[in-house]
Structure 1
Amino acid sequence: MSYREINAPLRTIMTPGPVEVDPRVLRAMSTPILGQFDPAFTSIMNTVMSMIREVFQTKNQWAFPIDGTSRSGLEAVLGSVIEPGDKVLIPIYGRFGHLLTEIAERHGAELHLLHCEWGEVFDPEVVINEMKKVNPKVVAIVHGETSTGCMQPLEEIGKACREQDVLFIVDAVATIGGADVQTDNWYIDAAIGGNQKCISVPSGNSPITYNERIEKILLDRKKVERGIATDKELAEKSYHHPIKSNYLDLSQLQDYWSPRRLNHHTEATSMLYALHEGLRILLEEGLENRFARHKFHEKALIAGIEGMGLELFGDSRWKLPTVTCVKVPEGVDAESVRAMMLNQFGVEIASSFGPLHGKIWRIGTMGYSCRKENVLFALSALEASLIRHGVKVQTGAGVQASLDIYTNGQ
């Protein structure tokens, strides 16, 4: 039997991830393979670490990618820090707070959960007051919740965590490279990012960073694993269990990314090339310019949606600038509209999860997908598909409103 080569259709991807990959990143992935201990390759590793620090706005020594999707980064950090019985507080305001919960639960955490309505975020004081009641070891929270298009303010919570000696772990997968993430200034102990969103690199590794507070836990647990922890140390500390995972053991990965280069796994060479180029492009643009670009195209998209006569979901005060949620008009088959946009125009937008499935569309403006031609095309495809589904829209007004933003440049 013979097989044909892959012939993937061209798409305009306007989802909250994955997004379109910058052509320069695709070219970088064709760079010749080097051995993982070749000095030329370890030099690339060091450069990637330096660039991750800049993007996360941190002076942390430890900043490197975990091989695997964004979930691997979350699993590596949470699984390396949480021991059975540890109190973990997770404020949930969307789908991915539930993911943090599942990971923590699998590692034996004593869970303490806060909930708010999907489409809202937490008043930081609510989280801080709950911390005082629970006295957790860890607070884990999502920064940008793509399921609802909301972004949680973090600085006050982070400061309270540091004052109360609580570890603050943040899922920044949807915000890193597209919105401000101030790891050090917000007292974040560990932050986890993702390639496939605002960095515009194929999914395949997850850049993370963590500080010395996290590192101390890793080193203590390594002592337990090696059987060299003293009785006094075991009595004084709560670290009685080795890290369960081998592949996602941060203590071993730290050794691999240290100057010692202790062998742990075979590095995903081409993925590291891709991340290197994605980060280089991001830093070449500049963080402030990058954030401003995402806000500008978000503004143009919103103008088009509202000009069309559609309604946004969520409160603008805590809107995630990289994801815009649109309420599905009454009586409209949301999936049928999405299918028409994809099949007739080659434009992909997303539905949502849980209580919002079928009730909102999610349009991502992330990284390389965050461009004028994409925004205008997505608006045109959405308008035409809605008209075909019998929805009364302000014909032509959406694209014109968006063009007004682009023409005026503000």
Structure 2
Amino acid sequence: MKRYKDLSPPPRTIMTPGPVEVDPRVLRAMSMPILGQFDPAFTDIMNETMEMLRELYITDNQWAFPVDGTSRSGLEAIMVSLIEPGDKVLVPIYGRFGHLLTEIAERCGADVVTIETEWGTVFDPQTVQQAILQHRPTIVAMVHGETSTGCMQPLAEIGHFCREHDVLFIVDAVATIGGVPFYTDEWKVDAVMGGTQKCLSVPSGMAPITYNDRVERKIQNRKSIERGLRPVGDIPSAVLSGHHRIASNYFDLAQLQDYWSPKRLNHHTEATSMLYGLREGLRILLEEGLEARFARHAENGAAIVAGIRGMGLELFGDDAARLPVVTCIYIPAGVDGESVRSMLLHDFGIEIASSFGPLQGKIWRIGSMGYSSSRKNVLHVLGALEAVLIHHGVSLPAGQGVQAALRVYAGQKEVTYQ
């Protein structure tokens, strides 16, 4: 009989766009004893988690809770519950995850319209506004921060325009929530999906979402019409098309609402230890303070950018749209990008990411998210990358990358974020 060793993962400095290093306090919380899902002590934890998610999303929405599953479960729960066959959905694409939103919408039977811009850039809000006027969608679905390109889309103008034209605006904020400012109510975002494994520094396995009463109304109307009941309030004619049944039981937000409400519908068995971890991650985030957390991520992102430029390497993407928590770097000509990543991992214990799609083999991506976003990690990855590149025959100004980052930390360069 084969004998297996005790689990002992090697220590790593994880500087990828996710997953990232988990705060030890979160891991400790996840080791706490299991409670029954309807134990009053556990439902108190559920209610506290909802309260903290409202603070994270800067919203007064009633509904703010996690969907059990990786980040994609949150995307699917929102989209499957909202989109009916025949609904027109506009997806502005500026990277890989816009294509994912498109695929999910198509699987829901939507009439999907896409507009695209070059990877490494974002949309002028007026371009999206013009597309809304041209195509008259029911829903606009968009990514806030594209980890595939290291770019971040401004949302406020688009959100206000959608509200003025009675279009639902749903946003994938998986890469940004907890790391950069996100103003759900102020930007008129109707539904937002996040993830635990990035800026929240919790293991992958939950997708915190929030949505407003406009979204709830459409969800409840689908439920009412399916059961032959009178719709609630005024709804678009598209909702009366006859395609009312939500395709998924697990991702049915009408049922998930009842689970997270005082009704305590026995919809599923909650992922107890994951909820402990999320609650602790949110507690730590709020203890640090949103503004302080945003500033920390901005400073560390700026230090990486300065360090990469100090080495003489070229950054990918539009500076004006740079995502503070993911830095994309062109692989120098003649360098085997995977050999560099392998040496970083095996000799320095540092993981950075490659890329995919049209950028596969062309760029590296360095993440600086959550617990991984620290001065120690930034200086470590810059020094190690410099050493590995020199080992691979790249001629660069030795020591200048780390010195450039140190100047950022010394306050010799202004740090800004959007």
TM-score range, shorter chain: over 0.9
State how 1:223-242 maps to structure 2 within 5 Å: 223-229=224-230, 238-239=239-240, 240=242, 241-242=244-245
Q: Does 1:126 align with 2:124?
A: no
Q: Could you tell me which amino acid in structure 2 is paired with residue 228 of structure 1?
A: L
2:416 corresponds to: none
CA distance in 2, matches of 1:166, 1:140: 10
Amino acid at match of 2:339: S
| Residue in 2 that maps onto 1:280 | 283
SS at match of 1:238: helix
One-letter amino acid matched to 2:355: S
Partner of 1:16: 17
Name the counterpart of 1:245. 248
Contact 2:343 2:388 in 1 (8 A): yes
1 CA distance for matches of 2:128 and 2:401?
Answer: 39
Q: Which structure 2 residue ranges, 5 or more long, are not aligned?
A: 414-418
Q: 2-side partners of 1:5 and 1:98: how far apart? A: 40
- Superposed CA RMSD in Å reads 1.5
Is it true that 1:383 corresponds to 2:383 in the alignment? no
Partner Cα separation in structure 1 for residue 95 and residue 32 of structure 2? 39
How much has 1:218 moved relative to structure 2? Answer: 1.0
Aligned partners of 1:298 and 1:322 also within 8 Å: yes
1:1-150 to 2 correspondence within 5 Å? 1=1, 2-150=3-151
Secondary structure at 2:239 match in 1: coil
Give 3-state SS (helix, strand or coil) of 2:178's partner. coil
Distance 2:106 2:88 in 1: 10
Tell me the residue number matched to 1:189.
190
Q: Which amino acid aligns with 1:312?
A: L
**Identical-pair percentage:** 67
> Aligned equivalents of 1:272 and 1:117: distance in 2?
38
**Partner residue of 2:333 out of 330, 334, 342:** 330
Q: Is the Cα–Cα contact under 8 Å of residues 138 and 169 in structure 1 kept in the other structure?
A: yes
CA distance in 1, matches of 2:192, 2:106: 19
Q: Is the 8 A contact 1:225 1:243 kept in 2?
A: no
Counterpart residue number, 1:362: 365
Partner of residue 260, structure 1: 263
**Mapping 1:289-304, distance limit 5 Å:** 289-304=292-307
TM-score when normalising by structure 1: 0.97
What amino acid maps onto 1:366 in structure 2?
M
Q: Cα offset for 1:237?
A: 5.5
Q: How many residues align?
A: 409
| Cα-to-partner distance string for 1:219-264 (whole Å, 9 max, x where unaligned) | 111123334358x999956243211100010000000001111110
Distance 1:318 1:87 in 2: 28
Paired with 2:10 and 2:412, the residues of 1 have a C-alpha distance of: 33
Shift of 1:407: 3.7
Alignment deviations for residues 49-93 of structure 1 (CA, whole Å, 9 cap, x no partner): 000000000000000000000000000000100000100000000
SS at match of 1:198: coil
Q: 1:403 pairs with 400, 403, 406, which one?
A: 406
Counterpart of 1:204 in structure 2 is: 205
Q: Specify whether residues 235 and 92 from structure 1 end up closer, same or farther in structure 2 by C-alpha distance, changes over 3 A only.
A: closer
Cα distance, 1:168–1:233 mapped onto 2, change above 3 Å: closer
CA deviation map 1:248-296 (0-9, x unaligned): 1000000000111111000000000000000000011111111000011
TM-score of the two chains, using structure 2 as the length reference:
0.95
Separation in 1, partners of 2:304, 2:377: 10
